[in-house]
Amino acid sequence: MSVSGRIRFVVAVTIMFFSVASGASAVVITALGDTYVTSATSSLNFDSAQVLNVNQQSLTLLSFPLSALPTGTVPAKISKATLQLWVDSSSRKPTGSISVYAATGAWNTASVTYSTRPSIGRSPLVTQPLLGGTNYYLEIDVTAQVKNWIASPASNLGLVVVAASSTPTVDVAFNSKENTVTSHAPILDVTMTSGGSVAVCVEGSSSNDAICSCSTKTISQVITVGSCLATSDAGTCTAHGFSGHAGSCCVCAQ
């Protein structure tokens, strides 16, 4: 089979599985903890504040419990995860950009201060420009980080929002979950594929028996057509031939 033929084969198999497992569902998670800390008053805690300030002196801390996701959720089932922050009308300078980091140290909403703020990752997960103006949800793609948290739950120490180094004069206020005026709490909107991800595995070109292992699930599915290309969006995926045969193509659906 030619290379182009093998590519067409893989595409056909993938479409077949997605057509069976098409559709998506969304899980909206409200922040479990949200607060801000500021170097202006480095020993004070602002757990009950109705806004979350981000400026040269202040940064915002957020935590989201992923226990709201269905039991058994794996990273490959996450299609997109969007952090949504409501830009409050009290913002003094809602222009420029903010950066979102993963917290790498533990913190407690009820007691954290600027002096005890958690450590953060070396690089921002994303730097997002503000749209200008107020009273809207700023949407920030944090898909990769949510997948990391699912793969390693102990690493879910929350997010830290700061003024981007490119525009340090940003002075924006986001609604907290304690804000009863507009009630636009920080949320994490997670879109999940209802049927999960598909991975096409290959080793060799025989069409005989094969066992295909994708993540934690093992499904036997033999494709009886020549050889195919190896692709995977569900982590490590391998196909093994046995009983004297060369490796075979197979398809795993999670």
Q: Write down the pLDDT at residue 167.
A: 87
DSSP 204: S
In whole angstroms, give the CA distance from residue 238 to residue 211: 8
**Which are the contacts of 130, defined by CB distance < 8 A and separation ≥ 6?**
87, 94, 95, 96, 97, 98, 138, 170, 172
> By C-alpha distance, which of 172, 246, 164, 229 is closest to 2?
229
Q: Write down the pLDDT at residue 242.
A: 36
Same domain, 149 and 200: no
In whole angstroms, give the CA distance from residue 82 to residue 143: 7
Same domain, 189 and 216: no
Last residue of a domain, one of 168, 193, 218: 193
Last residue of a domain, one of 149, 166, 193: 193
Q: Are 76 and 101 in contact (CB under 8 A)?
A: no
Structural domain span for residue 234: 3-22+196-253
In whole angstroms, give the CA distance from residue 213 to residue 218: 5
Same domain, 9 and 70: no
Q: Rounded to whole angstroms, what are the CA distances from 205 to 29, 212, 218?
A: 45, 14, 20
What the block records as the tokens of 40 is 């202006």
Q: Rounded to whole angstroms, what are the CA distances from 26 to 71, 80, 173?
A: 14, 9, 27
Q: What tens-digit pLDDT sequence spans the chain (254 residues)?
A: 333 333 222 322 222 222 223 346 889 999 999 999 999 999 999 999 999 999 999 999 999 999 999 888 889 889 999 999 999 999 999 999 999 999 999 999 999 999 999 999 999 999 999 999 999 999 999 999 999 999 999 999 999 999 999 988 999 999 999 998 888 999 999 998 765 434 444 443 333 334 444 444 443 443 333 333 333 333 343 444 433 333 334 444 44
Residue type present at position 223: I
Same domain, 62 and 160: yes
Same domain, 150 and 226: no
Q: Write down the pLDDT at residue 239.
A: 42
Last residue of a domain, one of 171, 193, 215: 193
Length of the chain (residues)? 254
In whole angstroms, give the CA distance from residue 173 to residue 82: 19
> Would you call 161 exposed, middle or buried from its count of C-beta atoms within 10 A (0-12, 13-18, 19+)?
buried
Residue 76: CB atoms within 10 Å: 21
Q: Write down the pLDDT at residue 24.
A: 67
Q: What total number of domains does the chain contain?
A: 2
